Structure 1
């Protein structure tokens, strides 16, 4: 049994959204993900998927993508990304599948770890940070704390956080997200969202006793990354 992570699947089985316009490496990327998944992941494993699952705009349009994902081996824990417009109520989502669960203001367990998280929001935008940005950013910080508090109340000391957006800006400045995970003594933060040239500069490794793991699918060459044995 092992814990893996991969983000930004950008599935479009029921929509016309070819990803190879973003680079040749995205050609038939769903087939690459499936092949790598089947070669490495068993039914006993768990995979964390930090957002941007499907290009669908409505819940009904996302069903084919979600069923495709659920059919792959292992348990999946999914958090929301900025393109997941199909995301409906967490209660409805968590009734859909046995092997696929959705994370929002709650947590899930993996052995003696609690898996917590939220979508996040761009950090330290400076003059570009609008009142709208501040409102969403503050809400996402609250949601992260709610998730972590639920895990703490349940007695978990070992914590892993899923974010879709990076927890810092491109300069790797501290943010409220990095302060929260340090305050709660989170062991690992997995995140995605970045693509293209942005992948040349990512937060990947230990910082202030927290391990940050970049998991955008193209950064991982569409291979789920093992983060715990």
Structure 2
């Protein structure tokens, strides 16, 4: 039993949204993901998928993408990304698929670890950050605390956090997210959202102030799920 992660699947089986317009590496990317997934992941493994899962605009169209994920080996925990407009009520979605659970204001467990998280958002001092972003940023900090507090209330001490957005701005400065991770003693943080060589460079990676950060966009991982725990 192992814990894997891969983000930003950008599936589009029911909508016309080819990813190869973003570069040659995206040609047939669903097939690459499936092949690599089946090679390394077993039925008793768990896989975290931190957002940008489907290009669908509603749950009806997203169902084919989610069923594709559901039918791959392992148990999956999904988090909302900025392009997941189909995302609906978590309580309802968590009843739809045998091998998929959805994370929002709640938590799940892997062995002795709690899997917590929230979507995240742009961080202050980012070159794109606006007054409107401030409200969403504060809301996401609150949602992260809700998830963490729920896990801690139930006795969890070892914590992994999944977000879609990176935990810092494009200058990799400390943020409310990194401060929360340090305060709560979070062990690992996985995130996606960043695409392309230039963006990969501004993603916090490795150990920083006692927390280990993983950039897990599928193109950064060469479309191969990354094992983060045995």
Distance in 2 of aligned mates of 1:212 and 1:88: 28
Aligned to 2:204: 203
Tell me the SS of whatever aligns to 2:159. strand
Distance in 1 of aligned mates of 2:218 and 2:59: 23
Aligned to 1:147: 147
Q: Report the CA distance between 1:183 and its aligned residue.
A: 0.4
Closer, same or farther in 2 for the Cα pair 1:133/1:33, shift >3 Å? same
Kindly indicate whether residue 164 of structure 2 is the aligned counterpart of residue 158 of structure 1.
Answer: no
Counting matched residue pairs gives 229
Tell me the SS of whatever aligns to 1:96. coil
Q: Report the CA distance between 1:128 and its aligned residue.
A: 4.6
The normalised TM-score by structure 2 is 0.97
Closer, same or farther in 2 for the Cα pair 1:59/1:171, shift >3 Å? same
The normalised TM-score by structure 1 is 0.98
Deviations, residues 99-152 of structure 1 (Å, cap 9, x unaligned): 100000000000000000000001123675333211111110000000000000
Distance in 1 of aligned mates of 2:70 and 2:144: 25
Distance in 1 of aligned mates of 2:202 and 2:83: 22
Closer, same or farther in 2 for the Cα pair 1:128/1:54, shift >3 Å? closer
Tell me the SS of whatever aligns to 2:78. strand
Distance in 1 of aligned mates of 2:65 and 2:182: 35
Distance in 1 of aligned mates of 2:91 and 2:135: 24
Kindly indicate whether residue 66 of structure 2 is the aligned counterpart of residue 66 of structure 1.
Answer: yes
1:30-45 → structure 2 map (5 Å cutoff): 30-45=30-45
Which residues of structure 2 form unaligned runs of 5+? none
Tell me the SS of whatever aligns to 2:190. strand
Which residues of structure 1 form unaligned runs of 5+? none
Distance in 2 of aligned mates of 1:127 and 1:224: 31
Aligned to 2:180: 180
Moved over 6 A (4+): none
